[in-house]
């Protein structure tokens, strides 16, 4: 792929995502300070050269906590997408390839669940499952499953009765071979792009639920939790909420830009 074919916005977005991956895998390579170390004498320091993002009410460095919080936020976002992606594939394949009664049953279940706002479902599931990163990812993943299931369901139905699938049946290919070689690749192609952009969306949901106290408990360095801890001091210490929120916005923006670029490439449209 020639560099001139890549939109200029994709390069910084990809670079930021790479930075996030490095921060999640080896955060000490970027900031070796302990994100839990308190220094009461340095509480509420505004951003300067020694603390570019300032410090919080306990004197902890905000930049360090944002960097170390990347792993928690990305794990919740990616874990929720993996759960909803897998659940959507199971529902969509079962409904799209099953007998007529199963198609109608699963289609009705997906439509009912899809009619509820996913964030409200995530809130209900999160309140039932408890606090913490694992329950939060599970709650968001379950809430987002109907959306993925609806996409897979419609894609499978359209591919199932296509000409090349009928030709494969006429040539004597087994049902497993037809699903593996023809239905799955064509049905899941748009879903992969949606999942890429969905990571940013689930991070927003996770941060919102953490802000409400349903995520990782304080003082865990997680972006939503950090914003929740800083809201009581927003009038005098704006940096406590600004920088974690900025990382959330940049993550959503970067995943959306890269996801839409991949979508255009897969569809054969010019970038």
DSSP-based three-state secondary structure for 174: coil
Both tokens of residue 204? Answer: 């927003």
Residue range 53-266 forms a domain whose CATH class is mainly alpha
CA atoms within 13 A on the CB side of 118: 22
pLDDT in the model for residue 27: 92
User: In angstroms, rounded to a whole number, what is the distance separating the alpha carbons of residues 23 and 69?
Assistant: 9
- Is residue 1 predicted with pLDDT exceeding 50? no
Where along the chain do its domains lie?
A: 53-266
- DSSP-assigned letters across all residues of 64-132: HHHHHHHHHHHHHHHHHHHHHHHHHHHHHHHHHHS-HHHHHHHHHHHHHHHTS-HHHHHHHHHHHH-SS
CA atoms within 13 A on the CB side of 196: 20
- Closest by CA to 17, choosing from 209, 234, 256, 245, is 256
Q: Provide the residue count of the chain.
A: 271
- Tell me the per-residue pLDDT of 194-224, one tens digit each, with 9 for 90 and over: 888 888 888 888 888 888 888 888 888 999 8
- Tell me the per-residue pLDDT of 30-85, one tens digit each, with 9 for 90 and over: 988 899 999 999 999 999 999 999 999 999 999 999 999 999 999 988 999 999 98
DSSP annotation of 55: B
- Is residue 101 predicted with pLDDT exceeding 60? yes
- Is residue 13 predicted with pLDDT exceeding 90? yes
User: 100 or 24: whose pLDDT is higher?
Assistant: 24
Q: Whole-prediction pTM value?
A: 0.84
User: In angstroms, rounded to a whole number, what is the distance separating the alpha carbons of residues 258 and 260?
Assistant: 6
Contact indicator for 76, 202 with CB cutoff of 8 Å? yes
User: 169 or 244: whose pLDDT is higher?
Assistant: 244
- Closest by CA to 127, choosing from 118, 136, 116, is 136
User: In angstroms, rounded to a whole number, what is the distance separating the alpha carbons of residues 259 and 116?
Assistant: 25
Which distant-in-sequence residues (6+ apart) come within 8 Å of 163 by Cβ?
Answer: none
User: 187 or 218: whose pLDDT is higher?
Assistant: 218
């Amino acid at each position: 792929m020639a560099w001139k074919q890549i939109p200029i916005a994709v390069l910084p977005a990809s670079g930021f995502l790479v930075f996030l991956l490095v921060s999640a895998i080896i955060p000490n390579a970027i900031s070796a300070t302990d994100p839990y170390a308190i220094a009461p004498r340095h509480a509420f320091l505004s951003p300067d050269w020694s603390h570019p993002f300032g410090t919080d009410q306990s004197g902890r460095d905000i930049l360090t906590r944002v960097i170390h919080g990347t792993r928690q936020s990305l794990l919740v976002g990616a874990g929720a997408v993996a759960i909803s992606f897998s659940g959507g594939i199971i529902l969509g394949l079962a409904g799209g390839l099953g007998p007529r009664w199963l198609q109608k049953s699963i289609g009705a279940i997906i439509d009912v669940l899809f009619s509820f706002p996913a964030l409200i479902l995530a809130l209900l599931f999160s309140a039932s499952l408890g606090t913490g990163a694992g329950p939060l990812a599970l709650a968001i993943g379950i809430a987002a499953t109907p959306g993925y299931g609806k996409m897979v369901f419609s894609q499978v139905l359209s591919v199932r009765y296509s000409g090349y699938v009928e030709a494969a049946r006429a040539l004597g290919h087994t049902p497993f071979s037809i699903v593996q070689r023809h239905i799955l690749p064509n049905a899941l192609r748009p879903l992969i792009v949606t999942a890429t952009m969905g990571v940013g969306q689930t991070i927003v949901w996770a941060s919102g639920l953490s802000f409400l106290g349903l995520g990782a408990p304080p003082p865990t360095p997680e972006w939503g939790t950090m914003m929740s801890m800083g809201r009581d001091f927003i009038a005098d210490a704006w940096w406590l909420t600004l920088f974690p929120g900025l990382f959330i916005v940049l993550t959503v923006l970067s995943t959306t830009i890269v996801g839409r670029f991949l979508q255009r490439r897969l569809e054969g449209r010019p970038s």
